[in-house]
Structures are given as C-alpha cells and as structure tokens.
Structure 1
Amino acid sequence: MADNENVNSPSTDSGSLSRRLALRGLAAAAGGGALATGLGAGTARATGGGGRPAVRTYVLVHGTHSAGAFWGAIGRELALRGHRVVAVDQPLHGTEKFIPKAYQTQDLRALATEPSPVAALTLDDYERRVTRAVRRAALLGGPVVLVGHSMGGVSVSRVADAVPELLAHICYMAAFCPSRSMPSLSDCASSPEGQQALTPLRQVGDPGTLGVLRLNWRTGDRRELDRFKEMICANYSDAAFLRVLDGMQTDESMAAYGDRAVGRAGTWGRVPRSYLRFGKDRTVATALQDRMIAEADELTPHNRFRVYDFPSSGHLGPEDPSRVTDLLHGLPVRRLAPLHWQPRNTPVDLPEHGGRGDPPE
C-alpha cells in the first residue's frame, strides 16, 4: 500500500476497562508524541496571484510530554513557502516546562515522589492557550489551519468547538479525536483498539498520587530505550531518536487525559477536517485511528475526514518532514468572512484568561 492512499475506517463498539488498563493506555499516549474521503460544501483551495496557495497561518499543537519545538522542521518548511507558523507551547511545556530536580540528577527514588505543578493543569488550560493563538492568528488575515499531533488532537477538537468561525481547516496528525463513545483521551486509549498500543516498560511513581504520568526519558536501561523508540519512531535513525528524547519532558497532566473533548456536529462538525493516518504507529494504534475517524464521520456524514495514509510511518510520522509539509501546504480551506483589527481590550483579541501558565498580558 503506497503512502497517501485512501483508507477505509470501520466502526467498532467500545467496552469498559479497569483503572489499571486505563493508566496503561495513557502511558501508550506518551509519544509526543491519499485520496479524499469527502469534504463538506463551502471549501476551496485558497490561492494568491499566479494560482499559488495564498498565505495561511498554521497553528501547530504538540502532543503529550512534548513542546512546540516538535514542529521545528515542518514549521520551517511551511514558513519558507510563505506561510505564517505558530507552534504553541502548552502551559508548563516547552519554554516554560517543569523539570523535576530529581530528573536532572537521575535520583530515581526522589523522582518517584517529587511534586509537579503540571498536576494542576486541565484540558481547559490547554484549550485556552490554543484558542488565544487562533484568535490572534485570525486577526492577521488569511485562512487559519489548526493542526494537532497525538494529544494535541484533544485541543483541536475543543478549540474547533469553541471558535469554528475562525478556522478554515483542522488536521489531526496521528492524533486523538474523542467521540461520544470515547469522550476523552483516557477513554480512547483504554478502548480495545487503544490497548493495541505499546506502553513504556515502567512509569516513575504512582500517577494517581503524583497527578501526572511521569516518564524517565534519560534512562540508561537499554530495554527501556528500545521500547521508547519502538513506541514513537521505530522508523527513525538512532541519531534522530536521541534528538527526539532530548525534546521530551517528564510530566503530563492526568486530569487533561481524562477531560472530555468531543466535538459537536453544529460547531466542530462544520469545519473541514483531515486525518494523517500513520500505519505503523505503536502509540496511537492504527485500529484506534480508524475507529476515531469512523465515529467522527458517523456524527457528520456530510463533512467527513479527508484521510491521508502513511502506511510505513510510526507515531512521529516520516523522518523526512517534506512529505507532511507538502500535504499541509496543499490542504483545501474554506472561505471565511474577514476579521478586522479591534482595540486590544476587546474579546476578539484577548480571550478569557485564568489558565495556569497563561497570565494576562
């Protein structure tokens, strides 16, 4: 099966699993990290002079245990093609990430109990951070395309539900897209399809006590390192894998994993959407990707996912970023009514604040 072929996505019924299996499924989400199957009316491939794609703003959302820097290569290529790129750091991630002292010293006993401010974060905090970026991007003019990888998909669903009028396209890249039968990332990962994913050999500390899923990416255990690579980027070179590990952070919020993120048909469901399906993904199992696609399409049969298949790619996608860049660059977008600059104190420019790690300017 060649890359970018169409994919069929059968639906599957979910079952209830124990808390232990749910936590195991959450650990599997620690990766970050075709032909069209149909699209709703009112979409077009925006073009500028000479038939070239018009300038867009891509708002890129990273996955669990990751940061905006994850998008460096893809964002650079999009910028070189004339687009604006905003790679969002979620609260207490990336440039403001929390690093446990015991992680720096590799005191594993202390690392198992060191408190984390990340435990206080909820999906509301993540949603506010991304919505703020989308609102500001929309004021620049031109289409806004919102893209999420892995856990970033739950933010995409939430934000598209909150401000669908600002988005010309949403794209899930091997990302979680909760549905009515699997309303949270935790539910998706705990489903029979989600349980096909690989999990880390060990977690650090008790997630229920810490309030975070904590992983030791600096481990010297060869077995653990081999498992990490197989989970997230088995198709990468060893050198590239080490660069990936260097960008990972220890903690991700358990509360955010469990918060509801189901798009509604009348809001999220009216935004054109795409799914980048990675056929050798061992973190968001391919069977789970198929189920999420199918259940989303059942909710909005008039506006279905455009599915782009990468059958040889693991969770982080192809090591060559140009293939993903080409796809994102060419996504069709719907035409939106233009926004106009507003005074700084209007709600268009400044969304609600109060999210931890995202104080008012």
Structure 2
Amino acid sequence: MPGVPRVLAAAAITGLALSGCSATGTDTAPPPAADGCITDFDAETDYFPDKSQIVDAENFHITYENSYQVLTVDEPFSGASPEAYVLVKCGAPAPELTGDLADAQQITVPITSLHSGSTTHLPSITELGVLDVLTGVSNGSYVTDADVVERIGSGEVSEYAAGGTIDTEAVMVAGPDVVMTGGTDDPAYAQLRAAGIGVVANAEWLEASPLGRAEWIKVVAALTGTEARAAEVYDGIRSSYLAVAAEAAGAEPVPVLLGAMSQGTWYMSSGGSYMGRMFTDAGAQWPWQSETGTGSLPLDFEAVVAQSADAPTWLVVNNDWQTIGAALAADERYGSLAAIGTGHVWNANNAMGPGGGNDFYERGVLRPDLILADLVAILHPELLPDHEFTFYRQLEP
C-alpha cells in the first residue's frame, strides 16, 4: 500500500550464491497479479526475465537470483564503503541471507512510493513512466519538470528537506517505500532505516563519464520494475551521444574558455572530469584538457587569463546571466576576455524552472547527448546546421 514501508527484515542462515547479471532464466513465471506481484510462488522460477546489463556506469552493479536482485553501490557517497540492497519481488518470501548480505536492507519491489533526494532522479522517473510512484522531493523550488511541479502544487508530492535539513518526522509519517539519496550522507538516514524505511544511495555524481551518469536510470528501474523500458531509453541515449561525438571527431578542435569566477575562485574543468569529457567529445580545446583528475580545478583569475583569455568562445553555466552586460556587472575583469569582444559567450541557462532551478542540472544528467549536441552546434555549427538548442543559449549583447 502507498505510504506503508515495505522493507523486509533480513535474517541470517545459509547463504545463497549470486548469479551473474547476464544470466537468463529458463522457467516461465506464473501470471502475476494486476500489481505485478507473485501470486503463486515457485522457488525454481526466475521472476526477473528482464535483467539490466550495465555498460558504462562504474559505481553500481546488479546481480540476480530467481526472486530477488542485489543492487550494490560501490561508493554511496564520497569515500564511503559499498552498500548492498536486496530487492525482493513482491509476493516472494524474504530470502534468508548470511555474510555481507545478512544485514543488508531488503526492499520489496516494485516500490509504490519514492522520496527523491535530487532533481537529477526526476527525468529517469518520468522517462520510465512511473511518475505516480514519486511522493516526495527534498526541495521543490529546484524542480524544472512541469509535471512534477504540478504534482508538488497539488500536494501529491511533498517537500521533506526544503530548508536543507531532512524533516525526519515528516518522512516517517509519509512512510515511503524508499528514500533515494542524492549521493551524500545524512544522520537522518540511519533513523529512517531504523523506522523501516528503505534508504538507497544514488551516487550518479561520482561517475566520471556522461554516459555512466545517465545509466543510473537502471537503478530507478530496478526499484520500479521497469528494466525493459530503461534498457530502451538508455540504449537510445547512448546511441545518440556516440553518433554526435563521431560527427565531431573529425573536426578541427576549437579553443574555448570554460567556467567562471565563483566566490573568488575560477573552477576549471579538467580533461578527466564529467564536463571535461563532454567538451573533449564536442571538439573543444583548452589548456587544462590534459589534466586527468575527475574534479574541477580551483584557479585564480590571473591563472585563467594567462592561458585562456584569447579563446574566441566562452562556455559558462550561470543561472542569472542573460546578457554580456550581466557578466561584466558580475566582474568587470571579464572585459579583457576575447570572447566578450567576439560575442561568442554561451550560457547553459536556456531551460530554467519556475523556482529558479536549471534543467541543465536536472534533465542534463540523463540526457548528455542533448548537452553534447548543443556543444557541437556551438563549436562546429556546420555539422549541425538546423540544431535547436536545449540547454545553451548565446548571451545577448
């Protein structure tokens, strides 16, 4: 039932060996009930005919048994040890496990209610066609998806951390099947687990590759029983991304200036970072491209200007800038940049939500192919002459 936690108590007796995620069941399951649950359990039947194959993501994996799957997040938040979640098909008995899985959370799937800790989860939920499962968001003001905004307004979706702190009592009263984290830790999670609410880490942001992050749609699919749909969606995104990257691969690299000042520091994409990989795939060239670290490089203004001031194109993400004048008002030193003179200043704020959230950070995680297409159209307009921009827009004079 919605609002009632469905986490099962883990027991510890004889362990069960886990099969590889590529295993395929040979038995035919009895017809499920209308809600997809098992009505006549048979221990020899494979109840997961659609199994996710993980291609690009490196921070999670899924293995299967006949009546449950094991989702393991290798690094649920930065520096953390792996966490495993036993996802049991509804109608099946709770498996009795030992070893590393003895104390793992057991969660009945498909879930009927989900509290989401990050707007980056929302596109996966909508693409999988399970928006009715969403019952909570941490902060509604950052949401850009119109359907989710409407559900927040109607009260179908509640906010549970609008001030930045999880309202533990409110979550316990709502009783979602799962609270999905945004890839960080919080003391409230231990309390929620103790109350019988599943807490599943979504640490997509720790993936270094754009496609790796997008593939976390398969984690949402594991919880909602939509593996076949997730494979279809992800395969389409992957094919689209690789096709656009192939278009740009033969083009002459274009010098670019990346990032901007934030609280006295210029955060520059390294070549090994999430955005750095996209800039490289789009045919961009910048001085810090050979840096292999996965994070941004904190630099001062002078260091950036010394090496990138002459770049004719500037790519930035700033929610507030609509014009070049707004950029100069933020820091008059930007006036020394060549891109200010050429007018080729492109800002990823073309799709903003009603509360000020930026869809670049929401839908862009699932759709790196759309970001890449924008970048290729900016840097190599001859390759995509009829492109309609999704996330980027050229700043007005």
Q: Relative contact order (alpha carbons < 8 A, sep ≥ 6): 1 or 2 greater? A: 1
The structure that has the greater radius of gyration is: 2
TM-score, normalised to structure 2, is: 0.24
More strand by share: 2
